[in-house]
A and B are shown apart, each in its own frame.
Chain A
Amino acid sequence: MSQRAGGPVGPQPPALGKDLVGLEELSAEQIRLILDTAEPFKEVSERAIKKVPALRGKTIVNLFFEASTRTRISFEFAEKRLSADTVNVSSSGSSVSKGETLVDTARNLEAMRIDMVVIRHPSSGAAQFLASRIRSNVINAGDGKHEHPTQGLLDLLTLRDKFGRIEGLKVAICGDVLHSRVARSNLWGLLKLGAQVAFCGPATLIPREFAQLGVHMIPRIEDAIAWADALNVLRLQLERMEAGFIPSLREYNRVFGVTRDRLQRAPKELVILHPGPMNRGVEIDSDVADGPHSVILPQVTNGVAVRMAVLYLLAGGGPEWRSPAPGSRPQGTADE
């Protein structure tokens, strides 16, 4: 923007690098860059024509080895609203069901000249594994119990919308932390941006080691509600549980369920987040999920904006992987 001089030249925003594997690897500055970039993308989804040409000509593969509705559709909307071409691959109905390895699948896709891979996989570390082996940008859409960075980012954006800041907020992450990549991504993002984090849930589902990171361990849900500004209520991941973590769903709801009664006894009004899909009547009651303090649907709306921001920043970054087009002008002079 050679003609925009005259004002003070701000510091150059930090790059994201080639991939988004987790929030643990990002700096606070990089997380803020993504959240700030997501703001203008909210407006794109409000337009009559919900599309901008930023990623025109880019090809993105959504590689989903695990069931997903919200995340897959949200990524697909984000990609389409940026004008990228998208292909969806799921484990059933593809060569994966014939025993092809993850790397072979990805390399074959790459041989078709793709630019980005969005991957969801049941194994922790799958996204990092892929990222280090292919040239395309890799975005982690959830890997095992490791991270789900775009969910963490959309939760941060939703909290920032609601409170105007993250720093100093008290956020209690409630329920099945053990099996939750959402909890881990939230934890890293919140700590880096200066929030206080507490875990609350049955002892069998709360990894105690996190206390070393400064996480408060609050055993009773009533105490967590009294402490927190916001509750992030996790889904009880019944499909990941071997037997024995909790006695029964009914008992879980009775002891740890986020109910209207419990919220009414809180000293202040809480903001309630849930990453979905909800087990209504287990970790959260319907009148809370649909109540005035729930930001569960704004979370979904923000998910598209955050994913657009991540796709856009990764596509524009990574100079070590992309040489400028022949004949292109040097940096900063291509525009008026």
Chain B
Amino acid sequence: MPSVTRLLDGPAVTQTLVRMAGEVVERCGTEGLVLVGIQRRGVELANRLARLIEQVEPSSNIPLGKLDITLYRDDLSTIGPRPRVGETSIPVELEGRTVVLVDDVLYTGRTVRAALDELADFGRPRRILLAVLVDRGGRELPVQPDLVGISVATTLDDRVDVAVRELDGKDLVELVSGAPL
């Protein structure tokens, strides 16, 4: 039987994002900063981080990009369900900017690999940082996050479910054991 452990509830998600927003400002400032969310929940999280950063630095206006990495995946011939390709939009030139790439969960690192490839096709940022709400370990590529909401040790049989209120009606992070997708 799968067992469910609540890792973050609604207020804890907000608290975590507030802390991460502070860390972004501390590490990068807001000059030339652009947040890029990975579709779909990364986009909502990036949007929220951007608004929180603007509260920390009221004079700032943080541009927000969206990345759908479907076309950059390395497993097109082997995936079963054909995913709908989502929107990609990078509203500013990346040349010389600091990009904070935002996703909900970091696991194998393959999505991040694809996202880095895709970003490179839009220009050459000064640097790219990776911010994730949950780092669940299990990397298959040499990818590390720079900003982490929470870290949790997991096995192959676990699943980490992230809900965000914009898409799911509530903020929630749960660890589901014994129920891999």
Contact = CB atoms under 8 A, between A and B. Distances in A.
A3 B121 contact: no
Interface stretch (A103-111, A178-186, A262-270, A328-336): A328-336
Given A40-B86, A49-B121, A334 B181 contact: no
A325 B161 CA distance: 28
A5 B123 contact: no
A2 B86 CA distance: 17
A48 B123 contact: yes
Contacts of A15: 82
Contacts of A51: 121
Interface in A304-329: 312-313, 315-317, 319, 322, 324-325, 328
Contact of A336 (B108, B117, B122): B108
B163 interface: yes
Interface string B72-111: 1101111111111111110000000000000111111111
A145 B42 CA distance: 48
Given A37-B84, A37-B85, A316-B82, A7 B111 contact: no
A251 interface: no
A2 B136 CA distance: 12
Nearest to B111: A336
Contacts of A4: 40-41, 104
A52 B74 CA distance: 12
B51 to A, nearest CB: 21
Contact of B161 (A5, A53, A333): A5
A6 B71 contact: no
B152 interface: no
B80 A336 contact: no
B95 to A, nearest CB: 11
Given A315-B77, A328-B78, A6 B163 contact: yes
Nearest to B139: A336
Contact of B122 (A49, A325, A333, A334): A49
B19 interface: no
Contacts of B76: 54-55, 312, 315-316
A311 B78 CA distance: 16
Contacts of A317: 82
Contacts of B164: 6
Contacts of A2: 107, 159, 180-181
B162 interface: yes
Interface in A4-18: 4-7, 12-13, 15
Contacts of A328: 75, 78
Nearest to A83: B71
B26 interface: no
Given A2-B181, A3-B160, A335 B73 contact: yes
B161 A336 contact: no
Contacts of A55: 76
A54 B77 contact: no
A7 B168 contact: yes
A3 B78 CA distance: 18
A41 interface: yes
Interface string A1-43: 1111111000011010000000000000000010011011101
Given A335-B73, A335-B111, A6 B89 contact: no
B153 interface: no
A47 B137 CA distance: 34
A53 B117 contact: yes
A239 B89 CA distance: 45
Contact of B78 (A33, A312, A325): A325
- Of A7, A43, A317, A322, the most chain B CB neighbours within 10 A belong to A7
Contacts of B168: 6-7
Given A7-B168, A51-B121, A54-B71, A325 B85 contact: no
A151 to B, nearest CB: 22
Interface of B: 40-41, 68, 70-73, 75-89, 103-112, 117-118, 121-123, 136, 159-164, 167-168, 172, 174, 180-181
30 contacts: A1-B83, A2-B159, A3-B107, A3-B160, A4-B41, A4-B104, A6-B164, A7-B167, A7-B168, A13-B82, A13-B83, A13-B84, A40-B85, A40-B88, A43-B87, A47-B121, A48-B122, A49-B121, A51-B121, A52-B71, A52-B121, A53-B117, A54-B72, A312-B71, A315-B77, A316-B82, A317-B82, A319-B80, A328-B78, A334-B108
Given A52-B118, A332-B81, 5 more contacts: A1-B83, A13-B81, A49-B122, A336-B107, A336-B109
